[in-house]
Amino acid sequence: MKRWGITLAALAFVSAVAYGKTEKVCLIKIDGAIGPGTASYISRAIDDAATQDAQCLIIQLNTPGGMLDSTELIVQKFLGSPVPTVVYVAPPGARAGSAGCFITIAADVAAMAPTTAIGAAHPVAAMGGEIDKTMKEKLENFYGSYIETIATKRKRNAEWAKASVRESKSISAEKALELGVIDLIAKDMPDLLKQLDGREVDGKKLQTAGANPVEIPKTFRDKIFQILFSPEMLYVLGLFVLYGVIGELTNPGAILPGVVGVIALVLVLYVASVLPVNGAGVALIGVAIALFLIDVFSPTHGILTAGGVVAFFLGSLMLFDRNDPFYRLSLMWIVPATAVTALFFMFVAGAGLRAQLRPAKVGTGTLVGQMTKALTAIDANGGRVFIEGEYWNAVSDTPIAAGQDVEIVGVKGLMLKVKPRSF
């Protein structure tokens, strides 16, 4: 047994010498908007890759953009990274838009797959609003200089980088390679590793040929953030806000709907700071809600509700930019949401609001509006009436004679307020 162990060890040594040691390459995949969760994930991945003594960390990127604050944190982490960073815009059809352009240019090695795109890094306002002219110029100047500095440090085309911010320039992978915006085009991961092999980064020669990239998994927190920053989740959270707040108003004291609505509202405001929400879409949804509520109290035979359904559907369609595939809400989300919302207002919210306006069915409140006769004379000092098998003290601002018909107009404690019955 000992002899066999020595033989196996010798074979392993000879194999290692003959074929060389396979170096480790770490990989993470970013698919979606750039936010605080993305910045945290990338930062942790860089530290993990350095701890594992990886040859490099590959960030496979596909993003329409995101928060500038989070982008700045990622860029800072790249520039101070102890391990070479490689941003690979992939798979084919992916893009590095807006914030993704900054991140790609800031990497030690910038690579793209064929039929991908990069650019359009012009800063935009959250919630789809317009930026003040002065503020717009400030942002353009600052981030134009910022990306120019990054590109210069990485020895990439600084002029184009600046134009991507100030003029929203966007180019294909092939054009990016031609202009010196990126370093290489790789058709897939094996091709990328092959082209990276032997490339020198900060005095370190990468050994990546034949490596099998080890993906650094997302934590539970990373996954939650990734789910949050999606158009579908923002849409669902918005519905929770709507149902929760209206549910609490129509059923005072229920507590749970109000709590859910408030929590969802906070999350909506947080996520909407990243995703470009169209103000016109929000306005149409607001009109739909108003129509639903008005129809509860108006005898319109459902006409306003039908209008609300149309407004809600169109508002949902316009909520995000449908020209952008990432922000495009599918009809599989919009149609059921429209139907459920209409049913909610017709049968849940409507019933709750109508119940609050109905006359009281039990308690002393049921006495208001009833008729009876005065047992004694009644004036501001008092008198007595008999109603529903009980004797009550009563007062009236207008003197009432005994035996006169009276109408109960109010109840305060054990005292009824009455007035002469009008015919």
pLDDT band at residue 15 under the 50/70/90 scheme: very low
Asked if the model's pLDDT at residue 347 lies above 80, the reply is no
Q: For residue 185, what pLDDT band results from cuts at 50, 70 and 90?
A: very high
For the cut 50, the answer to whether the pLDDT of residue 8 exceeds it is no
**Does 66 score more than 50 pLDDT?**
yes
Please give the mean pLDDT across all residues of the chain. 83
Average pLDDT over every residue of 224-239:
84
Region 364-420: CATH code: 2.40.50.140
Q: What does the pLDDT read at residue 200?
A: 92
The pLDDT assigned to 11 comes to: 41
Q: How confident is the model at residue 150 (pLDDT cuts 50, 70, 90)?
A: very high
Question: Domain map of the chain by residue range?
Answer: 2-219, 230-357, 364-420
What whole-number distance in Å separates Cα of residue 115 and Cα of residue 94? 8
Higher pLDDT, 16 or 295: 295
Q: Tell me what pLDDT residue 355 has.
A: 52
pLDDT of residue 2 exceeding 60, the answer is no
Average pLDDT over residues 16-30: 71
The pTM score is: 0.68
The model's pLDDT over 279-325, given as tens digits with 9 standing for 90+, comes to: 888 899 989 888 887 876 776 667 888 888 999 999 998 887 655 56
In this prediction, residue 7 carries a pLDDT of 43
Spatial separation of the C-alpha atoms in residues 126 and 34, rounded to whole Å: 13
CA dihedral 205, 206, 207, 212 (to 10 degrees): 170
HEC sequence for the chain: CHHHHHHHHHHHHHHHHHHCCCCCCEEEEEECCECHHHHHHHHHHHHHHHHCCCCCEEEEEEECCECHHHHHHHHHHHHCCCCCEEEEECCCCCEEECHHHHHHHHCCEEEECCCCEEECCCCCCHHHCCCCHHHHHHHHHHHHHHHHHHHHHCCCCHHHHHHHHHCCCEEEHHHHHHHCCCCEECCCHHHHHHHHCCCEECCEECCCCCCCCEECCCCHHHHHHHHHCCHHHHHHHHHHHHHHHHHHHHCCCCCHHHHHHHHHHHHHHHHHCCCCCCHHHHHHHHHHHHHHHHHHHCCCCCHHHHHHHHHHHHHHHHCCCCCCHHHCCCHHHHHHHHHHHHHHHHHHHHHHHHHHHCCCCCCHHHHCCCEEEECCCEECCEEEEEECCEEEEEECCCCECCCCEEEEEEEECCEEEEEECCC
Whether the pLDDT of residue 369 is over 90: the answer is no
CATH class of the structural domain 2-219: alpha beta
Cis amide bond preceding 91, omega within 30: yes
- In this structure, what token pair is assigned to residue 307? 């209008």
- Quick one: what percent of the chain has pLDDT higher than 90? 38
Higher-confidence position of 61 and 413? 61
What pLDDT shows up at residue 5? 43
Q: What average pLDDT score do residues 221-231 get?
A: 80
- Average pLDDT score over residue span 129-151: 81
Least confident stretch, 117-131, 169-183, 235-249, 315-329: 117-131
Q: What is the pLDDT of residue 344?
A: 81
pLDDT for residue 25 is more than 90? yes
Q: What is the pLDDT of residue 6?
A: 41
Instruction: For residues 299 and 199, give the distance between their C-alpha atoms in angstroms, rounded to a whole number.
Output: 76
Which pLDDT score, from 0 to 100, does residue 270 have?
82
Q: Express each pLDDT in 371-388 by its tens digit.
A: 888 889 988 888 998 887
Q: Taking residues 87-99, report their average pLDDT.
A: 94
